[in-house]
Amino acid sequence: MLELPPLSLYIHYPWCVKKCPYCDFNSHEGEIQTDYIKALLKDLDNELKYLQNRKIHSIFIGGGTPSLMSVSDILELFDGLKKRLSLTKSIEITLEVNPGTFEVEKFAQFREAGINRLSIGVQSFNNDQLKFLGRIHNGEEATRAISEAKKVGFDNINIDLMYGLKSQTIELCMEDLMNAINLSPSHISFYQLTLEPNTLFSKFPPKLPLEEKIWEMGEKGAALLIENGFRQYEVSAYGERSSLHNINYWEFGDYIGIGAGAHGKITDMNSKSIFRTLKPKSPNDYLIKFQSNALDSNIKKIDNVAFEFMLNSLRLKDGFSSQLFESRTGQAIDNLKPKLEKAINLGLLINNDNWIKPSEKGFNFLNDLQEIFL
Protein backbone atom coordinates (compact mmCIF):
# COMPACT_ATOMS: atom_id res chain seq x y z
CA MET A 1 0.00 0.00 0.00
CA LEU A 2 1.28 3.44 -0.96
CA GLU A 3 2.38 5.56 2.01
CA LEU A 4 3.73 9.08 2.33
CA PRO A 5 7.54 8.90 2.60
CA PRO A 6 9.83 11.33 4.43
CA LEU A 7 10.18 14.75 2.79
CA SER A 8 13.38 16.67 2.03
CA LEU A 9 14.09 20.02 0.38
CA TYR A 10 16.65 20.65 -2.37
CA ILE A 11 17.65 24.26 -3.10
CA HIS A 12 19.64 25.02 -6.26
CA TYR A 13 22.02 27.98 -6.46
CA PRO A 14 23.18 28.15 -10.10
CA TRP A 15 26.14 30.53 -10.06
CA CYS A 16 29.81 29.64 -9.80
CA VAL A 17 33.15 31.43 -10.17
CA LYS A 18 34.27 29.19 -13.04
CA LYS A 19 32.62 26.33 -14.93
CA CYS A 20 34.68 23.15 -14.54
CA PRO A 21 35.33 21.13 -17.74
CA TYR A 22 33.81 17.92 -16.30
CA CYS A 23 30.70 19.55 -14.80
CA ASP A 24 27.27 18.76 -16.25
CA PHE A 25 25.33 20.39 -13.42
CA ASN A 26 23.18 23.47 -14.01
CA SER A 27 25.91 25.97 -13.15
CA HIS A 28 26.66 29.32 -14.76
CA GLU A 29 29.45 31.87 -14.63
CA GLY A 30 28.31 35.47 -14.43
CA GLU A 31 26.81 38.13 -12.23
CA ILE A 32 24.70 36.86 -9.33
CA GLN A 33 21.12 38.19 -9.45
CA THR A 34 20.01 39.91 -6.28
CA ASP A 35 16.35 38.85 -6.54
CA TYR A 36 17.23 35.16 -6.48
CA ILE A 37 16.46 34.54 -2.79
CA LYS A 38 13.02 36.16 -3.18
CA ALA A 39 12.43 33.95 -6.23
CA LEU A 40 13.40 30.84 -4.25
CA LEU A 41 10.89 31.66 -1.52
CA LYS A 42 8.15 32.40 -4.07
CA ASP A 43 9.02 29.08 -5.70
CA LEU A 44 8.64 27.37 -2.33
CA ASP A 45 5.26 29.04 -1.79
CA ASN A 46 4.02 27.30 -4.95
CA GLU A 47 5.28 23.93 -3.64
CA LEU A 48 3.76 24.07 -0.15
CA LYS A 49 0.77 22.03 -1.35
CA TYR A 50 3.14 19.05 -1.57
CA LEU A 51 3.95 19.09 2.15
CA GLN A 52 0.82 17.07 3.01
CA ASN A 53 1.33 17.75 6.72
CA ARG A 54 4.95 16.56 6.68
CA LYS A 55 7.99 18.05 8.37
CA ILE A 56 11.20 18.59 6.42
CA HIS A 57 13.91 16.24 7.71
CA SER A 58 16.81 17.32 5.47
CA ILE A 59 17.79 20.30 3.33
CA PHE A 60 20.54 20.31 0.72
CA ILE A 61 21.75 23.55 -0.87
CA GLY A 62 23.63 22.66 -4.05
CA GLY A 63 24.85 24.32 -7.18
CA GLY A 64 26.78 25.93 -8.74
CA THR A 65 28.63 27.23 -5.75
CA PRO A 66 26.15 28.12 -3.00
CA SER A 67 29.02 29.07 -0.69
CA LEU A 68 29.19 32.26 -2.81
CA MET A 69 26.01 33.41 -1.07
CA SER A 70 26.37 36.34 1.27
CA VAL A 71 25.49 36.04 4.95
CA SER A 72 22.51 38.36 4.39
CA ASP A 73 21.24 36.07 1.61
CA ILE A 74 21.54 33.01 3.84
CA LEU A 75 19.75 34.79 6.68
CA GLU A 76 16.95 35.94 4.34
CA LEU A 77 16.63 32.41 2.95
CA PHE A 78 16.52 30.69 6.34
CA ASP A 79 14.12 33.23 7.79
CA GLY A 80 11.79 32.48 4.86
CA LEU A 81 12.19 28.71 5.22
CA LYS A 82 11.39 28.75 8.93
CA LYS A 83 8.25 30.84 8.36
CA ARG A 84 6.94 28.40 5.74
CA LEU A 85 8.10 24.97 6.89
CA SER A 86 8.07 22.75 9.93
CA LEU A 87 11.55 21.28 10.45
CA THR A 88 12.40 18.16 12.46
CA LYS A 89 14.57 18.66 15.55
CA SER A 90 17.28 16.43 14.07
CA ILE A 91 17.23 18.07 10.64
CA GLU A 92 20.36 17.79 8.48
CA ILE A 93 21.09 21.01 6.53
CA THR A 94 23.93 20.71 4.03
CA LEU A 95 25.69 23.45 2.08
CA GLU A 96 27.93 22.62 -0.87
CA VAL A 97 31.25 24.43 -0.55
CA ASN A 98 34.06 25.29 -2.95
CA PRO A 99 37.33 25.47 -0.95
CA GLY A 100 38.31 28.48 -3.07
CA THR A 101 35.41 30.49 -1.61
CA PHE A 102 35.92 29.64 2.07
CA GLU A 103 35.94 32.55 4.55
CA VAL A 104 36.15 31.72 8.26
CA GLU A 105 33.94 34.52 9.59
CA LYS A 106 31.32 33.98 6.89
CA PHE A 107 31.09 30.26 7.57
CA ALA A 108 30.80 30.80 11.30
CA GLN A 109 27.73 32.90 10.53
CA PHE A 110 26.41 30.24 8.15
CA ARG A 111 26.58 27.77 11.03
CA GLU A 112 24.75 30.17 13.36
CA ALA A 113 22.04 30.54 10.70
CA GLY A 114 21.33 26.80 10.85
CA ILE A 115 23.65 25.01 8.41
CA ASN A 116 25.03 21.96 10.25
CA ARG A 117 26.73 19.97 7.46
CA LEU A 118 29.21 20.96 4.75
CA SER A 119 29.90 19.08 1.53
CA ILE A 120 33.30 20.31 0.37
CA GLY A 121 34.18 19.83 -3.31
CA VAL A 122 37.87 19.05 -2.96
CA GLN A 123 38.08 16.53 -5.88
CA SER A 124 41.84 16.18 -5.32
CA PHE A 125 44.62 17.47 -3.06
CA ASN A 126 47.11 17.20 -5.94
CA ASN A 127 47.73 20.59 -7.54
CA ASP A 128 48.38 19.14 -11.01
CA GLN A 129 45.06 17.30 -10.88
CA LEU A 130 43.23 20.36 -9.61
CA LYS A 131 44.59 22.34 -12.55
CA PHE A 132 43.48 19.56 -14.93
CA LEU A 133 39.98 19.63 -13.37
CA GLY A 134 39.76 23.41 -13.72
CA ARG A 135 39.33 24.00 -9.99
CA ILE A 136 39.96 27.43 -8.50
CA HIS A 137 41.62 26.14 -5.31
CA ASN A 138 44.87 24.32 -4.56
CA GLY A 139 45.57 21.42 -2.21
CA GLU A 140 46.69 23.64 0.65
CA GLU A 141 43.51 25.74 0.42
CA ALA A 142 41.41 22.58 0.50
CA THR A 143 43.15 21.34 3.64
CA ARG A 144 42.85 24.74 5.29
CA ALA A 145 39.13 25.04 4.46
CA ILE A 146 38.36 21.71 6.15
CA SER A 147 40.48 22.52 9.21
CA GLU A 148 38.95 25.99 9.59
CA ALA A 149 35.42 24.61 9.15
CA LYS A 150 36.04 22.34 12.13
CA LYS A 151 37.36 25.24 14.19
CA VAL A 152 34.13 27.20 13.73
CA GLY A 153 32.08 24.18 14.89
CA PHE A 154 31.24 22.04 11.88
CA ASP A 155 31.53 18.41 12.97
CA ASN A 156 29.62 16.89 10.03
CA ILE A 157 31.72 17.34 6.90
CA ASN A 158 31.72 15.48 3.60
CA ILE A 159 34.73 15.57 1.27
CA ASP A 160 34.12 14.98 -2.45
CA LEU A 161 37.06 13.16 -4.04
CA MET A 162 37.50 11.92 -7.63
CA TYR A 163 39.59 9.10 -9.04
CA GLY A 164 40.45 7.93 -12.54
CA LEU A 165 42.05 11.28 -13.35
CA LYS A 166 44.52 12.12 -16.11
CA SER A 167 47.96 10.55 -15.46
CA GLN A 168 46.77 9.36 -12.03
CA THR A 169 48.51 6.25 -10.73
CA ILE A 170 47.08 3.94 -8.08
CA GLU A 171 49.73 5.25 -5.66
CA LEU A 172 48.72 8.89 -6.29
CA CYS A 173 45.07 7.96 -5.90
CA MET A 174 45.70 6.32 -2.51
CA GLU A 175 47.80 9.29 -1.42
CA ASP A 176 44.91 11.61 -2.30
CA LEU A 177 42.50 9.44 -0.35
CA MET A 178 44.77 9.29 2.71
CA ASN A 179 44.98 13.08 2.69
CA ALA A 180 41.20 13.15 2.97
CA ILE A 181 41.06 10.42 5.63
CA ASN A 182 43.71 12.17 7.74
CA LEU A 183 41.48 15.25 7.97
CA SER A 184 38.90 13.08 9.81
CA PRO A 185 35.71 14.07 7.98
CA SER A 186 32.49 12.29 8.91
CA HIS A 187 31.80 11.35 5.28
CA ILE A 188 33.72 10.89 2.02
CA SER A 189 32.19 10.71 -1.46
CA PHE A 190 34.72 8.78 -3.55
CA TYR A 191 33.69 8.57 -7.16
CA GLN A 192 35.08 8.05 -10.65
CA LEU A 193 35.50 10.91 -13.10
CA THR A 194 33.03 10.36 -15.94
CA LEU A 195 32.96 12.27 -19.22
CA GLU A 196 29.40 13.55 -19.25
CA PRO A 197 27.65 14.80 -22.43
CA ASN A 198 27.62 18.56 -23.08
CA THR A 199 30.78 19.21 -21.08
CA LEU A 200 34.17 20.48 -22.26
CA PHE A 201 35.70 17.08 -21.44
CA SER A 202 33.14 15.32 -23.67
CA LYS A 203 34.02 17.65 -26.54
CA PHE A 204 37.77 17.34 -25.97
CA PRO A 205 38.21 14.03 -24.09
CA PRO A 206 41.34 13.86 -21.94
CA LYS A 207 43.43 10.70 -21.92
CA LEU A 208 42.48 8.85 -18.75
CA PRO A 209 44.04 5.74 -17.16
CA LEU A 210 43.15 2.32 -18.56
CA GLU A 211 39.83 0.88 -17.38
CA GLU A 212 41.49 -1.90 -15.37
CA LYS A 213 43.63 0.68 -13.53
CA ILE A 214 40.57 2.79 -12.76
CA TRP A 215 38.77 -0.33 -11.51
CA GLU A 216 41.74 -1.11 -9.23
CA MET A 217 41.70 2.47 -7.88
CA GLY A 218 38.03 2.04 -6.97
CA GLU A 219 38.60 -1.35 -5.33
CA LYS A 220 41.69 -0.33 -3.36
CA GLY A 221 40.15 3.00 -2.43
CA ALA A 222 37.04 1.30 -1.04
CA ALA A 223 39.18 -1.10 0.99
CA LEU A 224 41.28 1.78 2.37
CA LEU A 225 38.20 3.72 3.42
CA ILE A 226 36.66 0.70 5.13
CA GLU A 227 39.97 -0.07 6.93
CA ASN A 228 39.86 3.46 8.33
CA GLY A 229 36.33 3.22 9.72
CA PHE A 230 34.29 4.57 6.82
CA ARG A 231 31.26 2.37 6.17
CA GLN A 232 30.21 2.08 2.53
CA TYR A 233 26.44 2.49 2.44
CA GLU A 234 26.01 3.49 -1.23
CA VAL A 235 28.02 3.11 -4.44
CA SER A 236 30.23 6.16 -3.88
CA ALA A 237 29.29 7.17 -0.30
CA TYR A 238 31.31 6.25 2.79
CA GLY A 239 30.47 7.58 6.21
CA GLU A 240 30.94 7.22 9.90
CA ARG A 241 27.37 8.54 9.69
CA SER A 242 25.24 8.37 6.56
CA SER A 243 23.79 11.49 5.01
CA LEU A 244 20.05 11.72 5.76
CA HIS A 245 19.51 13.57 2.50
CA ASN A 246 21.37 10.96 0.44
CA ILE A 247 19.50 8.11 2.10
CA ASN A 248 16.17 9.77 1.34
CA TYR A 249 17.05 9.85 -2.38
CA TRP A 250 18.16 6.22 -2.48
CA GLU A 251 15.15 5.00 -0.49
CA PHE A 252 12.83 6.72 -2.98
CA GLY A 253 11.67 9.35 -0.52
CA ASP A 254 10.07 12.64 -1.54
CA TYR A 255 11.83 15.95 -2.03
CA ILE A 256 10.74 19.41 -3.06
CA GLY A 257 13.13 21.07 -5.51
CA ILE A 258 13.34 24.86 -5.76
CA GLY A 259 15.68 27.02 -7.83
CA ALA A 260 16.78 27.20 -11.46
CA GLY A 261 16.76 23.70 -12.97
CA ALA A 262 15.82 22.04 -9.66
CA HIS A 263 14.16 18.62 -9.73
CA GLY A 264 11.64 17.33 -7.20
CA LYS A 265 9.89 14.00 -6.58
CA ILE A 266 6.47 13.94 -4.94
CA THR A 267 4.00 11.28 -3.81
CA ASP A 268 0.42 12.56 -4.09
CA MET A 269 -1.90 10.62 -1.81
CA ASN A 270 -5.03 12.16 -3.34
CA SER A 271 -4.37 10.82 -6.84
CA LYS A 272 -2.26 7.87 -5.60
CA SER A 273 0.42 8.89 -8.10
CA ILE A 274 4.12 9.72 -8.01
CA PHE A 275 5.52 12.49 -10.17
CA ARG A 276 8.62 14.59 -10.77
CA THR A 277 8.82 18.37 -10.94
CA LEU A 278 11.29 20.51 -12.88
CA LYS A 279 11.98 24.25 -12.80
CA PRO A 280 13.23 26.42 -15.70
CA LYS A 281 16.94 25.68 -16.18
CA SER A 282 18.19 29.13 -17.17
CA PRO A 283 18.61 31.47 -14.17
CA ASN A 284 17.40 34.35 -16.35
CA ASP A 285 14.26 32.47 -17.43
CA TYR A 286 13.67 31.44 -13.84
CA LEU A 287 13.89 35.05 -12.62
CA ILE A 288 11.77 36.43 -15.50
CA LYS A 289 9.02 33.93 -14.60
CA PHE A 290 9.33 34.96 -10.95
CA GLN A 291 9.03 38.66 -11.84
CA SER A 292 6.00 38.00 -14.06
CA ASN A 293 4.42 35.85 -11.32
CA ALA A 294 4.45 32.83 -13.65
CA LEU A 295 6.91 30.65 -11.74
CA ASP A 296 5.67 27.06 -11.56
CA SER A 297 6.79 23.46 -11.95
CA ASN A 298 6.82 21.33 -15.05
CA ILE A 299 5.16 18.14 -13.75
CA LYS A 300 5.70 14.66 -15.19
CA LYS A 301 4.13 11.51 -13.80
CA ILE A 302 6.51 8.58 -13.21
CA ASP A 303 5.19 5.72 -15.32
CA ASN A 304 7.62 2.93 -14.40
CA VAL A 305 7.64 3.43 -10.64
CA ALA A 306 9.09 -0.01 -9.87
CA PHE A 307 12.10 0.56 -12.12
CA GLU A 308 12.74 4.02 -10.69
CA PHE A 309 12.65 2.57 -7.17
CA MET A 310 15.13 -0.13 -8.15
CA LEU A 311 17.34 2.35 -10.00
CA ASN A 312 17.76 4.21 -6.72
CA SER A 313 17.53 1.60 -3.98
CA LEU A 314 19.81 -0.99 -5.56
CA ARG A 315 22.61 1.54 -5.04
CA LEU A 316 22.34 0.87 -1.30
CA LYS A 317 24.97 -1.57 -0.07
CA ASP A 318 22.63 -3.07 2.55
CA GLY A 319 19.60 -3.13 0.24
CA PHE A 320 16.00 -2.64 1.33
CA SER A 321 12.94 -4.49 2.63
CA SER A 322 10.10 -5.63 0.42
CA GLN A 323 7.82 -3.58 2.70
CA LEU A 324 9.76 -0.42 1.79
CA PHE A 325 9.28 -1.20 -1.92
CA GLU A 326 5.53 -1.63 -1.45
CA SER A 327 5.06 1.49 0.70
CA ARG A 328 7.09 3.71 -1.64
CA THR A 329 5.65 2.42 -4.95
CA GLY A 330 2.15 1.24 -4.03
CA GLN A 331 2.89 -2.02 -5.84
CA ALA A 332 3.23 -5.59 -4.61
CA ILE A 333 6.77 -6.98 -4.57
CA ASP A 334 5.35 -10.17 -6.10
CA ASN A 335 4.86 -8.23 -9.35
CA LEU A 336 8.65 -8.31 -9.70
CA LYS A 337 9.03 -12.00 -8.92
CA PRO A 338 10.27 -13.12 -12.38
CA LYS A 339 12.83 -10.29 -12.51
CA LEU A 340 13.96 -10.89 -8.94
CA GLU A 341 14.43 -14.59 -9.70
CA LYS A 342 16.41 -13.77 -12.83
CA ALA A 343 18.73 -11.45 -10.88
CA ILE A 344 19.14 -14.07 -8.12
CA ASN A 345 19.90 -16.83 -10.64
CA LEU A 346 22.56 -14.63 -12.24
CA GLY A 347 24.16 -14.17 -8.82
CA LEU A 348 23.49 -10.43 -8.82
CA LEU A 349 20.90 -10.25 -6.05
CA ILE A 350 20.18 -11.77 -2.63
CA ASN A 351 16.65 -12.10 -1.22
CA ASN A 352 16.83 -13.18 2.41
CA ASP A 353 13.51 -13.24 4.28
CA ASN A 354 12.07 -10.34 2.20
CA TRP A 355 15.26 -8.29 2.55
CA ILE A 356 16.64 -7.59 -0.91
CA LYS A 357 20.22 -6.50 -1.53
CA PRO A 358 22.81 -6.61 -4.29
CA SER A 359 25.35 -9.42 -3.99
CA GLU A 360 29.00 -8.43 -4.14
CA LYS A 361 28.91 -9.26 -7.85
CA GLY A 362 25.68 -7.27 -8.29
CA PHE A 363 27.17 -4.26 -6.54
CA ASN A 364 30.20 -4.39 -8.83
CA PHE A 365 28.02 -4.76 -11.95
CA LEU A 366 25.21 -2.48 -10.85
CA ASN A 367 24.18 -1.36 -14.34
CA ASP A 368 23.58 -4.97 -15.36
CA LEU A 369 21.50 -5.54 -12.23
CA GLN A 370 19.41 -2.38 -12.69
CA GLU A 371 18.71 -3.14 -16.36
CA ILE A 372 16.91 -6.35 -15.39
CA PHE A 373 14.13 -4.23 -13.86
CA LEU A 374 13.77 -1.88 -16.85
pLDDT of residue 294: 81
Q: Report the pLDDT averaged over residues 204-230.
A: 95
Q: What is the mean pLDDT of the chain?
A: 94
Q: Report the pLDDT averaged over residues 155-174.
A: 97
**CA-wise closest residue to 147 among 172, 122, 114:** 122
pLDDT of residue 202: 85
C-beta atoms surrounding 296 within 10 Å: 13
**Residues above pLDDT 70, as percent of the chain:** 100
Whether the per-residue pLDDT at 30 is higher than 80: the answer is no
pLDDT of residue 48: 97
pLDDT of residue 241: 85
pLDDT of residue 168: 96
Q: 3-state SS string over 42-74?
A: HHHHHHHHHCCCCCEEEEEEEECCHHHCCHHHH
Domain extents for the chain?
7-249, 320-371
Whether the per-residue pLDDT at 119 is higher than 90: the answer is yes
The band of 103, judged by pLDDT with boundaries at 50, 70 and 90, is: confident
pLDDT of residue 34: 78
235-260 pLDDT per residue, tens: 999 998 899 999 999 999 999 999 99
**Residues above pLDDT 90, as percent of the chain:** 86
Say if domain 7-249 classifies as CATH 3.20.20.70.
yes
C-beta atoms surrounding 318 within 10 Å: 11
pLDDT of residue 227: 97
Q: Hey, what long-range contacts does 168-176 have (CB within 8 A, 24 or more apart)? A: 168/129, 168/209, 168/217, 169/209, 169/213, 170/213, 170/216, 170/217, 170/220, 172/126, 173/217, 173/220, 173/221, 174/220, 174/221, 174/224, 175/126, 176/124, 176/125, 176/126, 176/129
